[in-house]
Structure 1
Amino acid sequence: MQPSRQLKIYLLILLLQQTNGQNVRSICSPPPSPCDSASKYRSHDGTCNNLEHPKWGASYTIYTRLLPANYADGISAPPVAKDGSPLPLARLVSSTIHPTAPVEDKQLTLNAMQYGQILTHDMGVALNTTPPDFRLDQCCSTSRKLLGPITGSKYCFSIVVPKDDLDFIPIGFECFPFSRTTTDHEYGCGRENESVQQINGHTSFLDLSIIYGANADEGAFLRVLKNGLLKSEHRLGQKWLPRSTNITRDCILGDPKEPCYDGTGDGRVNQNPQLAILQTILLREHNRIADRLGAINPHWDDERTFQEARKIIIGQHQKIVYYDLLPLLIGEDNMKKHKLIYTSKGYVNDYDPTIDPSIINEHAAAAFRYFHTLINGQLNMFNEKRLNEGGIRISDYIVRPLILENRRTSFDDLTRGLATQSMLAADEYISREMTNKFGTQPGDLVGLDLIAICIQRSRDHGLATYNDLRQYCGLPRANCFEDLLDVIRKENIQKLEELYKSPDDIDLLVGGSLEKLVPGARVGKTFLCIITEQFIRTRKGDRFFFENSGDIGFTLSQLREIRKASISRWLCDNTNIKRIQPNSFVQISTENELVDCNDLPLVNLKLWKEW
């Protein structure tokens, strides 16, 4: 690999880890007082959602935990095995546990996987705000040589390549640079003798902070401040996210003229083409609604139009997540059992002010990351007749979204691909694009291992072990590896026994990824428990949730319109697509046939006409 390519991969690592470090305010700041209980709209930073606990769920507050942190020193040192020895290398665990023989899901499209990423980005981003004088190459050089201990500083936690690795060692790679997540201790919060806690840079609510920003200043910057609109640019007959003003920071480019986006509430927008597509759809949908509301209510000023459009699209987003997506991932019966969805035609009003909606660390750094198994490494493009127009390797376009504007039809063709192509199955099998070629450039033989990065991140966050969490979730504690047979297949237990000295050492992310799926869901029992608990908190801890009544809610007739929302209608209204299946999270079939876009239910915005 040429030095220039090495530098590009190194830059990719920096881009993926420098998440939302701008605009950080102290997490130690006191809560706002008093809260304006009469406000009809959410704050950008999530404060005052709960009037008694104004900072619950707010941006720049700490993640919560189901179980105490598992740091080796009780404070911040990465976990070790029960006997004090090092845990198996994250790269070794990835290559052993996750074969690269991907199997396609027989029911769901890539759109389900990709909207899952929208969902998880909306709920959180772990901060990485290392000091200006710190460089990742102090621990692992740009040519991937290990320069010192993997924890050579409190910021460094390099991923070491096993000495017998068949992919990376032959080309001289000894490590991947990796920096640790920012914690409350670095801001002078928390007690010195207590475990560090990571910081969530977004609000914990499903409030689309990825397009509206996670604080008031960022929210104002993203707006036109006229007619309720968000900033956009017009090219190729379409509205696009604004181009980045710092493309060397935000993208890996072959040409400075390539598209590279900014102007969103989330710095990860360029991470992959499909993510950029859905972020663009969200921008277009907000502006479409704002235009319509302005025409219906010409007396509304910019602020009223913006806030009402924001409220509508957040309501639609919450409906799509809870009623259309989550039942496919964690099971419809499970959703009904835990009162996450209802058949009511009226209000639900299940807000509980005693519930803290903050994001659970075990959910963010392990359980929901399991869905990386759903990523398909090949992205296909389809014309209006659903004929395949060719495809691209996702790894070639990580942090490089030029394909979206490569030609006039690329955006629409890739969007049809989202709604047509199968996602991969929920299992231990991972696309090689994710484990060996993540972030490569054309001609590169290897890239990064996303799964090893996720395992390292879960250790960085000091998550409790798999054995601890399976016991928390109602499974018996495993005293020996054979005790795992209740939920893990024998051949996978043998792999775990090769890697770990004790069941008490197994990483949560690893053990949970190997559990047999619960019928009707796409996760095993432990992850189902964690994810379900998170979405109970996310729904019932949100005073502004779309099915709640009162001045902050919708009128009953408006609520009935919000319930008509669908991801398919969003795709139709914001692209040149003419035909689509009613539920584009699900593959086209005789029960989900292609229909004319105009035949899909449309949210009737006339119900928002004031007078």
Structure 2
Amino acid sequence: MFADGFLKHFAAPPGVHSTCEYRHKLICNTADIYRTADGSCNNLQNAYIGKSETTFARMMSSQYDDGVNKPRLHYKNTHLPNTRCVSYKLFKNINKPDTSLTHMVAAFTQFLNYDIQLVDTMNNVDCCRIQTDFNRFRSTFYALTRADEVRLYQMTQAVKSICLSIQIPKGDPKLPPNYRCMPYTRSTNTPNLDCKLSSRQQRNLNTQFLDGSVIYGSNSAITSMLRTGVDGTLRTTTNANGELLMRDFLNTVNCHLPNPNTNNAFCFLGGDKRINEQPLATALNMLFVREHNRLAKEFKNANLAKELKIANLAWNDEKIFQETRKMVIAEIQHITYNEYLPLILGPTVMAANQLNVQASGYTNNYNPGMSASASNIFGMIMTMTATTMFRDTYTFNAETKPMSFYNPDVFYKNVDAVTPITKGLLTDHAQRFDQYIATSFTNKYVEVLPGYPRDLVAIMLQRSRGHGIPLYTDWLKFCSRTYVNPHSFPHHSIDAKRELLSTYKNVFNIDLISGALSERVLSDGKVGPTVACILGKEFQRLKFGDRFWYENSGPGQLTQQQLDAIRSTTLAHIICRNTAITSIQRKAFEPISASNPAVSCNELLNIQTTTTTTPTTTTTPTTTTTPTTTTTPTTTPTTTTTPTTTPTTTTTPTTTTTPTTTTTPTTTPTTTPTTTTTPTTTPTTTTTPTTTTTATTTVCDGWGVFFPWSVCLNGIRSRFRLCLAGPGRRPCECEGAPIEVESCASSPSTMINKEQIIKELTERTKHLIYNGRLTYKMFNMYFLDVIISNM
């Protein structure tokens, strides 16, 4: 029967979870000095806080129509306006650049958003088709039996619990006339961390700390796939166009390829699947992957120098990886709190939430009672903040390219595309923070089918209603802490007030996103008061609720030399070290000006053949204390200028691989955990034989399944055996299972192509289960990149 088939669309009945997965106690190693891959055990009082695949926190209680589950679609018996109507009426495409910001601000906002949150949704459910079929089925009933009534009720509840598709009104001026339904599924329901009965809550798939999970992944399986297993480095692909991220060979669904059967322009694999959403996100992720590998090589070289003197063999792949990861996370945290947030939020909000970082010394402000779990509203606010600042185009060399989604062609058709994309981010202006959105995100966003785009603004509005996010007037009161007459619109211009009331009819109907994005920006910041309030509170929790915060003292702390190197690092340093850009402004989030002139990367990094000079700039460290929820700013903090001090380092000739045609000099910030720096004058030159390659042999720490196979690819025959590690273990090359490579003379007609390999490996591994989930794709991905990297 149709009813039976219909109910199979849904994994679980609607309503509140009857079981709670968080009752199982996690066992933590209290002596561990490194973060876990999934964020667990950061908070030793509650190991689930901040862990991936756990519940979002809430700043304010949820508001559902029935108080428990139904989306917020009404207010006092009045319907909220259709979200697509709100999008094209209120969020128009009006070009208003902010000449004080570079496009890098928008890209970095998105980067932080991807690092901290990813909402778990049921993407495999086609709600538009289901709702159409359901309505047709319901209309056929004339006389219902009791059994029919029960099934109809079950289907009605299932549709309401799972589907919240956006109905496109007739006469939509921007979308095709026959486009009537934009599919949208509600986020997966999950219990509270305390397992107490509550209203509908949502799950965050990413780690909820600012911990580089967008680079490293949010569970050990993904992290393992992204690692080479050699010298602590991350896996990349190098071809004629330079160094790229690891390719996602099996993802031909999300990636819009001209011809998936023959085209090699696969999307990339990273810590977060959204790094492929647009080229700017991909480039920024690649930038930090290169930074990781650069630091890992420095750690390896320094450790080898130590070994020559004291024969210390302790620094293996795992040690180098963890130390490098710790440094990269520290760099991201420092750039965020030292450069990005002061510019976006302004000194008043920074001081009110105690977000300023110290200029010297360690802090001891970790507060285990402050949950670092990301707030439910955070992802929506960060998404919309980035979206309002994005341009409709981006600059690539002398060319202006339209914003594209899930299309990696630019990286395959150009040499080292990361460099020109990054250069464009440094020279283009961002759009102003306001309710005006580039048409790429409202009328040309990721397509459902060719010619049928989604609307990101409508989706975010629909998500906020599906998550039970309170209305704008409630947030206005929450952030003001005193009574504010909502009818006065204290943060809006007369025009913005008129547009909001014209769209919503009633002030108490206004969605948070609409009200917050249309506010006037702060006098000393770049966003409106409500957005600044939400972000200020969120980043306060990310700082004080993180046991591994980079400034903290205690087990696993950075050495003083490492901390000094981090404090002298800016985003401009990261860019100079990892691209072919030769000159840059010191403040990458601000355009070149008289107060922010372009300088050469050599000057910025202080790479000289003689000893470097140390700036004499002194700053007074701020004394920080554990924040309280009632802290109010009393004075404007002094902006601390971080001196670009580079430890007395040596010039290390770099003959290691760089993705550009010109060699980019690299500085050696004090990344070794020793207090001395040993000059090295011998360049590390690696020569790869053309006929043989040898895989590093490590011992598997889990069970292994071997598949002997031989294949001829482009004149090279590879004989290999596949080893798959079990649950909780890392896929690795099993002991005694090297990849043997030799030349072979095979005609093109007999050579196996990439699609055949994917098909066969899929069949061979599809029965494997990892933690109860079918994950042959992950294992294939780890394996395929080894054997098809030359294709």
Q: Which of these residues, 157, 168, 172, is aligned with residue 178 of structure 2?
A: 172
| 8 A Cα contact 1:58 1:204, kept in partner | yes
* Superimposed CA distance per residue, residues 579-603 of structure 1 (whole angstroms, 9 cap, x where no aligned partner): 2111221111122222211222456
Q: Match of 1:463, as an amino acid? A: I
| 8 A Cα contact 2:110 2:382, kept in partner | no
The unaligned stretches of length 5 or more in structure 2 are 1-18, 140-155, 305-312, 606-666, 677-791
- Name the CA distance, whole Å, in 2 between partners of 1:322 and 1:27: 36
Does 2:405 match 1:398? yes
Does 2:323 match 1:308? yes
| 8 A Cα contact 2:115 2:211, kept in partner | yes
Q: Which deviates more, 518-527 or 265-274?
A: 518-527
1:32 deviates by 4.9
Does 2:121 match 1:115? no
1:86 deviates by 2.4
- Name the CA distance, whole Å, in 2 between partners of 1:34 and 1:152: 39
1:488 deviates by 1.4
1:340 deviates by 0.6
* Superimposed CA distance per residue, residues 481-509 of structure 1 (whole angstroms, 9 cap, x where no aligned partner): x322x111222222222232432221111
User: Partner residue of 1:355?
Assistant: 370
1:527-606 correspondence runs (5 A)? 527-601=531-605, 602=667, 604-605=669-670
| 8 A Cα contact 2:476 2:530, kept in partner | yes
User: Partner residue of 1:407?
Assistant: 414
User: Partner residue of 1:72?
Assistant: 65
| 8 A Cα contact 2:128 2:181, kept in partner | no
RMSD of aligned alpha carbons: 2.7
User: Partner residue of 2:246?
Assistant: 242
- Name the CA distance, whole Å, in 2 between partners of 1:181 and 1:33: 25
1:269 deviates by 1.4
- Name the CA distance, whole Å, in 2 between partners of 1:417 and 1:240: 19
* Superimposed CA distance per residue, residues 36-62 of structure 1 (whole angstroms, 9 cap, x where no aligned partner): 221110111111111112111111111
Does 2:90 match 1:86? no
| 8 A Cα contact 1:261 1:269, kept in partner | no
Q: Which deviates more, 526-535 or 486-495?
A: 486-495
1:132-143 correspondence runs (5 A)? 134-139=125-130
| 8 A Cα contact 2:109 2:385, kept in partner | no
After TM superposition, the score normalised by the length of structure 1 is 0.87
SS in 2 for 1:44: coil
SS in 1 for 2:78: coil
| 8 A Cα contact 1:367 1:512, kept in partner | no
Distance 1:174 1:229, change over 3 A: same
1:23-172 correspondence runs (5 A)? 28-30=21-23, 32-129=25-122, 134-139=125-130, 152-168=159-175, 171-172=177-178
- Name the CA distance, whole Å, in 2 between partners of 1:578 and 1:206: 29
SS in 2 for 1:588: coil
Does 2:673 match 1:608? yes
SS in 2 for 1:126: coil
Does 2:419 match 1:426? no
1:183 deviates by 1.6
Q: Match of 1:423, as an amino acid? A: A
Does 2:495 match 1:457? no
User: Partner residue of 2:286?
Assistant: 280
Q: Match of 1:605, as an amino acid? A: T
Q: Match of 1:356, as an amino acid? A: S
1:337 deviates by 3.4
Q: Which deviates more, 564-573 or 256-265?
A: 256-265
User: Partner residue of 2:188?
Assistant: 182
1:249 deviates by 2.8
1:438-449 correspondence runs (5 A)? 438-439=445-446, 447-449=453-455
1:273-352 correspondence runs (5 A)? 273-298=279-304, 299=313, 300-352=315-367
SS in 2 for 1:244: coil
User: Partner residue of 1:17?
Assistant: none
SS in 2 for 1:599: helix
Q: Which deviates more, 516-525 or 316-325?
A: 516-525
Kindly indicate whether structure 1 or structure 2 has the higher relative contact order, using CA contacts under 8 Å at least 6 residues apart: 1
User: Partner residue of 2:233?
Assistant: 229
SS in 1 for 2:99: strand
| 8 A Cα contact 2:56 2:203, kept in partner | yes
| 8 A Cα contact 1:277 1:415, kept in partner | yes
| 8 A Cα contact 2:39 2:207, kept in partner | yes
1:313 deviates by 0.4
Q: Match of 1:401, as an amino acid? A: P
- Name the CA distance, whole Å, in 1 between partners of 2:84 and 2:484: 25
Q: Match of 1:176, as an amino acid? A: M
- Name the CA distance, whole Å, in 2 between partners of 1:84 and 1:190: 32
1:204 deviates by 1.0
Q: Match of 2:476, as an amino acid? A: R
| 8 A Cα contact 1:100 1:432, kept in partner | yes
- Name the CA distance, whole Å, in 2 between partners of 1:520 and 1:270: 34
SS in 1 for 2:294: helix
- Name the CA distance, whole Å, in 1 between partners of 2:293 and 2:358: 31
Q: Which of these residues, 357, 364, 385, is aligned with residue 370 of structure 1?
A: 385
* Superimposed CA distance per residue, residues 204-263 of structure 1 (whole angstroms, 9 cap, x where no aligned partner): 111111111111222222211111111111113632111112132331111332423333
- Name the CA distance, whole Å, in 2 between partners of 1:237 and 1:38: 44
User: Partner residue of 1:468?
Assistant: 474
Distance 1:249 1:505, change over 3 A: same
User: Partner residue of 2:488?
Assistant: 483
- Name the CA distance, whole Å, in 2 between partners of 1:262 and 1:31: 35
- Name the CA distance, whole Å, in 1 between partners of 2:417 and 2:232: 29
| 8 A Cα contact 1:549 1:555, kept in partner | no
Q: Which deviates more, 94-103 or 331-340?
A: 331-340
Distance 1:404 1:150, change over 3 A: farther
- Name the CA distance, whole Å, in 2 between partners of 1:603 and 1:32: 43
| 8 A Cα contact 1:150 1:157, kept in partner | no
| 8 A Cα contact 2:372 2:542, kept in partner | yes
The unaligned stretches of length 5 or more in structure 1 are 1-25, 383-388
Q: Which of these residues, 208, 214, 219, is aligned with residue 215 of structure 1?
A: 219
After TM superposition, the score normalised by the length of structure 2 is 0.68
Larger Rg: 2
| 8 A Cα contact 2:23 2:195, kept in partner | no
Q: Which deviates more, 551-560 or 236-245?
A: 236-245
